């Protein structure tokens, strides 16, 4: 789907889920919201003093309001809100949330950031939808091994983005074309022409972990 085309109501709606402090005007989430007709933000509130149950409730309300398939594009603490929603919502596999792109999940377990403690411990159950988890090798908010463990616990495809900080506005990602390509892979796996959840093409998603060449192919770089 072209980003300049009207959103087809049969296709999933993309809900962005920001983290601590929200996402400013140069954050990739904000840029996606203004450029993609299928994308809108979940207004979680209390951006600087997050409360787990309040965020999960706001996320649940936003998901239910779509009344159709949803794909989540979460960043940092937003990824933990998604995981806690999945833990508490009890949805069947693939509906209403049909997939997720989870970017730079914050480490709420280390105790290094007091503002994140309300979300500890990290949920450890597999997510009830296909997902890709992207992490940076020099993220100040989470060691990459912690992110890799989250991906394993959640059943997410893991992508090492290399040294790009917290994969936020400070990382100078701009519109973040690589992230868009990963989001498109989630959308492809999540829906068919009628907007119904598809069977998960795990063989296609998991190919990203095989090698650097596989990752470049997966991201459409070769």
Q: Does residue 153 fall inside a structural domain?
A: yes
Cα separation, 220 vs 31, in Å, equals 21
Q: Does residue 1 fall inside a structural domain?
A: no
Q: Does residue 8 fall inside a structural domain?
A: no
Residue pLDDT, tens place only, 95-153: 999 999 999 999 999 888 888 889 999 999 999 999 999 999 999 999 999 999 999 99
Q: Does residue 116 fall inside a structural domain?
A: yes
SS3 content of the chain, % helix, strand, coil (to 5): 40, 15, 45
Structural domain count, the chain? 1
pTM confidence score: 0.83
Q: Does residue 47 fall inside a structural domain?
A: yes
* Residues written for the chain: 222
Residue pLDDT, tens place only, 189-219: 886 433 444 444 333 443 333 333 333 333 3
Residue pLDDT, tens place only, 35-69: 999 999 999 999 999 999 999 999 999 999 999 99
Q: Does residue 129 fall inside a structural domain?
A: yes
In which domain, by residue range, is 123 found? 13-218
Neighbours of 81 (CB within 10 A): 25
Looking up residue 28, the CATH number of its domain turns out to be 3.40.50.1820
Q: Does residue 163 fall inside a structural domain?
A: yes
Q: Does residue 4 fall inside a structural domain?
A: no
């Amino acid at each position: 789907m072209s980003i300049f085309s009207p959103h087809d109501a049969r296709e999933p709606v993309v809900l962005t889920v920001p983290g601590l402090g929200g996402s400013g005007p140069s954050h990739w989430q904000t840029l996606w919201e203004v450029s993609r007709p299928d994308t809108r933000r979940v207004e979680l509130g209390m951006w600087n003093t997050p409360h787990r149950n309040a965020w999960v409730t706001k996320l649940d309300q936003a998901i239910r309001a779509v009344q159709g398939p949803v794909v989540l594009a979460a960043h940092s603490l937003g990824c933990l809100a998604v995981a806690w929603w999945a833990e508490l919502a009890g949805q069947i596999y693939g509906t209403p949330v049909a997939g997720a792109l989870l970017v730079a999940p914050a480490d709420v377990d280390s105790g290094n950031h007091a503002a994140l403690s309300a979300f500890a411990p990290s949920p450890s159950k597999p997510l009830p939808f296909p997902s890709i988890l992207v992490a940076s090798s020099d993220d100040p908010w989470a060691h990459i091994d912690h992110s890799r463990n989250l991906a394993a616990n959640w059943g997410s495809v893991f992508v090492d983005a290399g040294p790009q900080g917290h994969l936020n506005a400070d990382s100078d990602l701009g519109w973040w074309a690589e992230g868009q390509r990963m989001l498109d892979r989630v959308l492809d796996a999540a829906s068919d022409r009628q907007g119904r959840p598809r069977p998960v093409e795990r063989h296609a998603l998991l190919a990203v972990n095989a090698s650097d060449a596989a990752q470049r192919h997966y991201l459409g770089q070769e």
